[in-house]
Structure 1
Amino acid sequence: MDPWNPLGTGNPLQTALVGLYAAQLTGADEIPVAYEMVTERAARVLGLTAAEYGIAQGAPASFVLLPAETPAEALRRQVRPRYVVARGTVLAETPPAPARLNWPGEPPADVDFRPAGRS
């Protein structure tokens, strides 16, 4: 359960997406800002130092790996974390789960909702 949103999943990407829609901030330059709000800016609000947050030599190796190439893609597709790592230990792993499209008259095809040419 999400302690801040009774309909939420505890996923910051969901919070960012709802905020984007509610504030009508869906411009190309606004979407990455919403992503920063639930990642880098949230870390700053929590008072985390550069040694505690981010990818850097000597950092605690705590991160979430998302199967997306850009913040906008992560938000649009609402991707599930591929790996959740805390202090170098994998705590959670989500295997890829393609969506299957069964269009009449066509063979079934897996889709990933990414732009054509990316896989």
Structure 2
Amino acid sequence: MLGDRIRPFHHWKDPGQEIYLGHFKIGRFDFSSINPFQLGSINGGSLVYACYGTGYYDLKIQNEMLRFKLPVAKEQVFFTEKHSYHTGLKLYGIGSGDNGQELRVLMYLPKGSPPKIYLIRKG
């Protein structure tokens, strides 16, 4: 069974991680997220995201770095935690080939859109 390498409460801003969020560019700020009387969504069933934007990621594959960007939402504004980014990413590694290279499967699962699957291996 494959295990997701992005664990709950992943430290996105830690460059020592296999996948790292190097930069977050705010595209849209939701001002209702700073309302002190609103502790969550109206029906209480989901998180309220403060910012939506673009995440610039680094993915380490053996001794090389793959850089890419995808949309990301951020939950907190004032007291930012390393894990407050909601990326919709899943990362899996599949065995080693004949040359000792591991295949990476990166899944992007955006809410309300079809998933995107990327197969990555070092050239």
**TM over 0.5, yes or no?**
no
> Taking CA–CA contacts closer than 8 Å with sequence separation of 6 or more, which of the two structures ends up with the larger relative contact order?
2
Q: TM-score w.r.t. structure 1 length?
A: 0.24
Which has the larger share of strand?
2
Which has the larger share of helix?
1
